[in-house]
Every structure is written in structure tokens, then in C-alpha cells.
Structure 1
């Protein structure tokens, strides 16, 4: 049996997405800037994609920009908005658990004269709200916060945080990295006060190399790619029409029967944690409980304070890559951390930020589900961990 539990790294495209993309590739292959019928048909796919996202987010189609993925969306949002509004302030804020595609643009801006504040998080991955509010200044221009952490599944109280931030400074630009949240939550940027929102296609059963950036019509941003003036001059370059058709189809499918899918994922997460928590030397990261106290780890109210699809587990006495490859040999595919940096091993900034001990950081695996994950797959994974863990611990004892 093969079980894919690395959906936070990437997801399989659905049949509907594949079929939609093949139609564009084979039939509607024109350049969307061309005036003939093939160009018009291609342009219509872009318009349809924008409408699909606008309807889901409850925004205007003109506020949807298509990108090459979450990384570009984050870079365009952060660098583009800061450079367009730099006369308003020189101070920008983010957290210590952001994705590298947020941290690196902040580092770039810091190198170019902007002052950056990095907000701490608690042991459960939640932002220290008082520290955030106290860090706000008159010259603060931008705050960037991820909705769901990609490694441990911690969920920020986005609505409460933004409400308080904008109460204190109403012209603040708010960017939210929703790469792991879109498709798991109903997100309405205008109601929440979000000015910029990043989405990635391949995290939602869409194609790789596709993404979306929502830009509030009142928020000024500068482009970071020049030449051609496509997408109202904000993102030059001939649009990836098959990709846009695919990501739009993926979004529509994901939000069809949405509530049922989320309930099912939470039940699978609850079942997995309940079974694994019975094993010795196991602790869960990102849950709002005392670390290592697994008694309430599978309480549904507790679980719903975290994302439905991500489970981060530390297995004492076993190195993560050893258990990962042992599971791989049994047909179970998981992650030892963020796949975006797995080829360049470095300590996890998220696990360090939640103050996880070094030996536990090196013993942590991430299991991430999708809406297609089954109970049978979870049960098989549990059985393999039950078999492998005592054997691997025996071999790795000093």
C-alpha cells in the first residue's frame, strides 16, 4: 500500500484540473494578448480564473493577480507594497515562524535600509499578541503574518489580530501568507481587513508554478517584474493560461462540499493523534497543550485550534530522516520539515521559535493530509509507526 502524507509540500492534481489544463494546451493555446479568436479564448480562461477566485474570496476580479506560486506572491506583496509606500514609513513587522519566502524579502528590505521587527511565538506557535501590538510604531508600514504555519499547523487569530492592529493604526498594510490556509478555511479578505493575500496552486491540487495574490484596490504596490505591462502592469509576462485554468478549477473543486471535507480531515487527525499519543516518547507540536501532555491532544476542541491537515510529531530517540526512510520503505511518504528547504538542511526556524529541544527538532516528522486521505491510509500509517518505532529506537540507543 502507498500512502501520501506530504500534502503540505505538494498535492496531486485532480482529474478535473488535468482535463481543464489539457483542453487549454490542445485547443485554446493562443497568446491571451492576441486579437484573434485563439487569443480571445485564452484570455477568457484568465477572466474565468479571476472570477473563480474573486467569488471564493468575495472580492473584485480586478484585485486578483496570477503569479508563479506562493513564493512570488509573497515577494510581490512584501517588496511591492513596501517600495510603493516607503514614504509613509520605514518600519516593517513579521514573525519568527514565517516561510523563507517571507523572511528573505524582509531580510532584503532590511539590507536596503528598512527596520524589521520579528515577533516571538509561544510553545504552541501562536503569536505573542502583546509583543506585536507593543512593537507597532507611527512609522510602521507593513505587518506580514502567516495564517497557518506550514510545519506545525499552528493557526493565528487573524481576525482578532488585524482588528486590533488597524484600530491602533488604520493605514497599516496587512499581508497574510495563506498558502497553507486557503482551501482549509473560508477566507474573506475585505471582511478581515487583509490588504494582500498569497495563495499557491500546488498546495490545493492545482499545478505547480501557479499562484494568486489578492491586492486590495486601495493598496498601492510596485511590480517586481517588468516588461509587457500584463495584469494591469503589476506582473509582466505572458500569462500561464493552462496553469491559471488549472488553479481556478482546483479552487472551485476544493470549496465544493467544503464543510464535509474539513470535518472528515479533523476526524482523521483526531484518530491519528489518539493512536500515536499512546506510544511512549511521543509529543505533538503546535497543539495548545502542555508539551508532552497528550491527555487532551485529541480533544476535538483542542484540535480545531490547529489546521485540519498538518500533524507535527516528535519521536524521542529516533532521528527524523531514519524514520522517514523506514516509512518510505513501507510505502508511506512524509516530511522531515518544510520541503522548500529539504535539499538545504538547516535547523527549522519554526521549531526553534517554539523552543523545541535540539534532539527533538532532529526527531520530528510532519504528516500532512489532503481532502482525499482515507481512514484506511491513516490506519496503515499508524500500524507501520507502531512496528518501526521500537525497532529503530533499539538500534539507535547509545
Structure 2
């Protein structure tokens, strides 16, 4: 299998697995326990917190471990909205967010909040003016993703964050698809909250982190014990936390070389497809991370394309894995106002450091053959 669905999840890196192993076996203590076994677990958790903090330019005390990107998004937006509800009940986000943000906003609408959804341009990128113009006197939270998970489009989050700070509005960004390839400094960028996830970084599933600026007015959404400095109740997932720390540390160390490698893979994939498939449409903009390539094969259904790719030993996707099986067309491509035939035939190829140029050569030629064959049949 040639795995080109890394935006959905990445394979666990051997070095990360090695770091986790003791905490799956011999180092089984609860970090809240006061004895020696518990203290070892606590030390590992705090070391991972420092690794995550260093990777994004935060203070360790500002990092909260969660169960993943979805919980981080929920905690950020709901926690900020509820903590500031006496000041206002208006939220601004975009129509191209991950459903972890969109459905969270829909939930808040049901309990009395108002949400403005800003649409992008044809390249899938929102403008700073578009977001800022949606801010009202009663706006308390703005959430704009750093990198779109379907197209790879990079959003102008630093400029939006600055505008939010000037207006006294909290800014959150879902950086799940950004951390592995783009340098992030939450302090310099002015982010108040940021979400990330372990399994997008060759780390384990079921672990993520939320950065919350010390001065941000925010409240926890999980209650119980005093874990995570009373910011997220529940016994810590020590193996996952250790894995996240190891994964993000090695990711940052190899970021530049990985970016260039992945860029070469993406460019080769796109170059051959454009040469071999005359009816190809490219959905990913120029201002995008190289790890995600969205293309359409008008006249060929995405389902048929994916099934044939799977038979040929190639794993790809039609959009976000979180909406797999949904009969609804991609909300991201629809928001970009793409032709319906492009939306229905869109395929997302996503790459990681573990893919090779040889894999891409094989995959792209098979993809072109399949697309042309299905087009002729159609």
C-alpha cells in the first residue's frame, strides 16, 4: 500500500514508539500519585509539556494536554465563549473550518450565542478584512484555522490575531495541519489559543494539546480532579503525552528538511498529473503547505476514483477523514464556490516525510491511468 492520506493520520514513528514503550509497560504510575512510581510518571508528563511548549514558543504552564485536536478546539472555543459571555455572545469563524470548530459553534448557537461565518475567496483563503469586518462590539472569540485540512491553504492568521488583540477579542487557531511544516511562535504571532494533535505528527492517536495564553479569560470545560493545573480534569494519558512530546520534538528538529522533501513529492505528483490528465483541475492554491494536494477529475466520481485507487494499492481521500461516508459534498470546496463537478470529483493526496519519490512515481502514473480510463467509460 502506498499511503497518501497523511492529513487523516500519520504512521507512528519508531523513535516515538520507543519513547512510549516504558510507559505502556513498566512505568505505569498515575502522575497524581505521591509515591516514586507516580513521581516518575509526573516527571515524564512535565518533560513532554516542555517539549510541546518549546515547539510553539509557549510557556509550559500554558500547555494543556487533551485527547486530541477535536477536544482542543471544543475546549478553546467553548471555554472562551462561556468565560466571556457577560461581555458578549458573538463569535466569528469561517465556513472552511474543520467540523470540530463548525459543530462546536453550532452547539453554542443552540445555547444562545450568535456566530458569523466568513467565506473564503476562490483559492480557499479568507481575507483579513473579511474576518475583521465581521467583528462586532459584542464579539469575544474569533477562530480561524492555520492550514486547511482539505486544500492545504494557509490562512493569514498572524494578521487576524493582531487585529483581534487590538480589539480586545480572543483569537484561536486550529494548527493541527500546520505544526509539522510551518514554524510557530504563539507569542510573536499574538495567538491567545492554539490546538494541535499528536497523530498528525507521527505520534499516537488520542492525544493533543491546547495552548491558552496566561492572560486569556478562559475556563475549563471538563471538571473533576485537579489534573492539568485544574484546567482539564481526568487522569493523564501518560504514554500518549510522552509520545506527543517525542513526536513534536523530532518534527521541529527535522522540519526544514521534511518540508523540502515533501515539496519535491508534491511537485512531482502534480507535475505528472497535469501532464497526463488533460481534464485535471487543481484545487489547492499556490499559498499552501506541500503536504496536502487537492485535485479534481471532472466527469469521474470521487467514490469510483478512490475505490480504483484502493484496488491499485494507493490510499487517498476525498476530503476530511472526519466526514468519511457522508453523502454531503465537501463544505470546504463548496465554500470556495467551485463547480459542482469539481466538488464531486475531488481527491486529496497528502504526503509525509516517510513517503518516497519512488512511491510517488508509481502512484502518480497509476492515478493518471485510472482517471483517464474512468473518464472514457463515463
TM-score (ref. length: structure 1): 0.93
Is 1:267 matched up with 2:283?
no
Aligned counterparts of 1:271 and 1:390: Cα–Cα separation in 2: 18
User: Cα deviations across residues 342-378 of structure 1 (Å, max 9, x unaligned)?
Assistant: 0333221101100112222111100000112111111
SS in 2 for 1:214: strand
SS in 2 for 1:16: helix
Matched residue, 1:291? none
Which runs of 5 or more structure 1 residues have no equivalent in the other structure?
Answer: 288-301
Matched residue, 2:196? 199
SS in 1 for 2:86: helix
Aligned counterparts of 1:24 and 1:131: Cα–Cα separation in 2: 47
Preserved CA contact (<8 Å) 2:181 2:256: no
Matched residue, 1:243? 240
SS in 1 for 2:281: strand
Aligned counterparts of 1:191 and 1:215: Cα–Cα separation in 2: 14
Q: 326, 340, 344: which is aligned to 2:308?
A: 326
User: Cα deviations across residues 30-72 of structure 1 (Å, max 9, x unaligned)?
Assistant: 1111111110001111101100011111211100000000000
Aligned counterparts of 2:353 and 2:160: Cα–Cα separation in 1: 28
Preserved CA contact (<8 Å) 2:198 2:204: yes
SS in 1 for 2:347: strand
Aligned counterparts of 1:25 and 1:378: Cα–Cα separation in 2: 35
Matched residue, 2:35? 36
Cα displacement (A) at 1:164: 3.0
**1:42-191 aligned within 5 A:** 42-167=41-166, 169=167, 171-191=168-188
Backbone CA RMSD of aligned residues: 1.1
SS in 2 for 1:366: strand
Matched residue, 2:217? 220
Cα displacement (A) at 1:221: 1.8
Aligned counterparts of 1:14 and 1:133: Cα–Cα separation in 2: 40
Cα displacement (A) at 1:189: 0.7
Matched residue, 2:341? 359
Matched residue, 1:294? none
Cα displacement (A) at 1:260: 1.2
Aligned counterparts of 1:60 and 1:115: Cα–Cα separation in 2: 32
Distance 1:43 1:345, change over 3 A: farther
Aligned counterparts of 1:44 and 1:121: Cα–Cα separation in 2: 44
Aligned counterparts of 2:124 and 2:284: Cα–Cα separation in 1: 6
TM-score (ref. length: structure 2): 0.97
SS in 1 for 2:253: coil
Cα displacement (A) at 1:157: 1.5
